[in-house]
Structure 1
């Protein structure tokens, strides 16, 4: 039986309008009604992740910031893995030398040292999701997003993070040259040790503490709920989903997923523009129904 479904957000649960579609929202409710728990597993922090789900009055548990902070349905923190101050200072050395724009994820928002860089990257995200979107519309949406999600602008990251009590959970680095432009800095970051570098899109890399990954966070959450990973479905599309795709028995790649995720996955569903998450959830419900009736083999393939 599938008892828990974990879904990534960007490129997965969210469509090309960066929204949870009505079909995906309805499918989540169907899963819950069928006794299957649903959890979001995202690179976003909690306030960023909740916006689209709350639009449908959905209140799931959340694996956020790639596994650095995990919340149950009551928003109680169950896992917390910040980047240490020493690791942050080492990262600042590498990233400042690269000349690339980067920003930090805190528990409740984003910390940026350049508003222009923040806006430019949000615009690129929106236009990447919808190629027909005008520059003016993308800018308007980006400006609105920074108002909606707490964004703190600082002059110097180093000065801010001299206080050990201040925590950051992820660093995200951007390049207009996409992964080719990010490859050199990725190599230098990995050489520091104790960090994991993933990606949620062509234009970024995401840096977390080695212990903060979706797969281990999902496994820990499942264990606390009394589930094994043989009872978990995980749905994703990109590199920051790899660990949970590897660990869940019922791993599902989106139709728009990168080749590696499709190669690793048990099954490939439709794209995020075609409500692929809803399709995967319906398959999970059908599998459970078939198992309860002793007829499951055809649906497993």
Structure 2
């Protein structure tokens, strides 16, 4: 029995953010053979569950970059950021007027002036991403709509004054080179926090113990699976901890070159059913 950890964006999800039938069937086949397939994503757990429900898939998961681990209706682990780091990061992001989201145990909180912050960033040296469609760029930058999961806030002091609120990560949209460089340097020097990225236009900050690698270990321990029998598939820098921890690391064909270099194998891209191909090559036909 293997424990297979699969990233979502850039990995299981296509460029148009859906799961192909080929990938769905490959996951179901792996499960039918007794393997455990977990989803390990930067997305919130609630968001992951909605995606899985759409395709009638049932998988344990690690959300918010591995800071929340769930299986069989149980919370297996949760890593929250300390208050001093939270306040320091929020102040810095407000000072530079950066658009950001706060992932918490009570949903995702977004500054109500998100659109104004985005427009300010677009006035500078904007980051260009090859192959990024206008539709996807709009989806990335537009003001998130309020819902049961997403809520607006005005003052982070009031938000973090709630003792029952636990913060798992900050997601920072970075649209220009200078601001991303400055923020990356600043955030990387905060003691007890860890900064990473899931794409060229963002920075993500968690507690130093909150990552996909530790989430994989928590899930392996729960199911009694040796780390030698774990597999991880991903495409970006926030996947590196789980790729390094897994017995078999597989990079997507569209992965960052640095990610490919540290993996034991490379599969096809997320536009070519790379997850399905990898499962067939390394798991189902073994």
1:85 pairs with 2:96: no
> How is 1:169-180 mapped onto 2 (pairs within 5 angstroms)?
169-177=168-176
Q: Deviations over 1:228-276 (max 9, x none)?
A: 1110110000011000111112100000100111001110001111110
3-state SS, counterpart of residue 78 of structure 1: strand
Aligned partner (choices 211, 227, 230) of residue 229 of structure 1: 227
Instruction: Tell me the CA shift for residue 128 of structure 1.
Output: 8.3
Q: Could you tell me which residue of structure 1 aligns to residue 103 of structure 2?
A: 105
Q: TM-score, normalised by structure 1?
A: 0.84
Distance 1:119 1:10 in 2: 24
1:26 matched residue in structure 2 = 25
Does the 8 Å contact 1:4/1:231 carry over to 2?
yes
Q: Against the structure 1 CA distance between its residues 204 and 132, is the aligned structure 2 distance closer, same or farther, given a 3 Å change threshold?
A: closer
Alignment of 1:79-158 (within 5 A): 79-114=77-112, 116-117=114-115, 131=133, 133=135, 138=138, 146=145, 150-158=149-157
Deviations 1:60-112 (A, max 9, x none): 0001111111000x231100111122221111222222221112012353101
Structure 1 consecutive aligned stretches of length 4 or more whose deviation exceeds 4 Å: 118-121, 127-130
Distance 1:154 1:148 in 2: 13
Q: How many residues in Structure 1 have an aligned counterpart in Structure 2?
A: 278
Q: How much has 1:46 moved relative to structure 2?
A: 1.1
Cα separation, 2, equivalents of 1:283 and 1:159 = 52
2:60: which partner in 1? 61
Task: State TM-score, norm by structure 2.
Answer: 0.89
**2:162 counterpart of 1:160:** no
CA distance in 2, matches of 1:118, 1:19: 30
CA contact (8 A) 1:234 1:252 kept: yes
Map 1:180-199 → 2, pairs under 5 A:
181-199=179-197
Residue 45 of structure 1, CA deviation:
0.9
- Per mean C-alpha deviation after superposition, the further-off stretch among 94-103 and 262-271 is 94-103
CA RMSD of aligned residues (A): 2.6
CA apart distance, 1:176: 1.2
**Distance in 1 separating the partners of 2:146 and 2:111:** 16
In the TM superposition, what is the alpha-carbon distance from 1:285 to its structure 2 partner?
2.6
Give the match for residue 44 of structure 2. Answer: 45
Q: Which has the higher helix share?
A: 1
The answer as to whether partners of 2:234 and 2:255 remain within 8 angstroms in 1 is yes
What is the rounded CA distance, in whole Å, between the counterparts of 2:112 and 2:241 in structure 1?
A: 32
**Deviation of residue 277 (structure 1)?**
0.7
Report the secondary structure of 1:105's partner residue.
Answer: strand
Structure 1 pair 211–259 and aligned structure 2 pair: CA distance change class (3 A) = same
Measure, in 1, the Cα distance between the counterparts of 2:13 and 2:218.
25
Q: Is the alpha carbon distance of 1:197 and 1:30 closer, same or farther for their aligned partners in structure 2, counting shifts above 3 Å?
A: same
Q: Which moved more, 1:163-172 or 1:210-219?
A: 163-172
Gaps of 5+ in 1: 122-126, 290-301
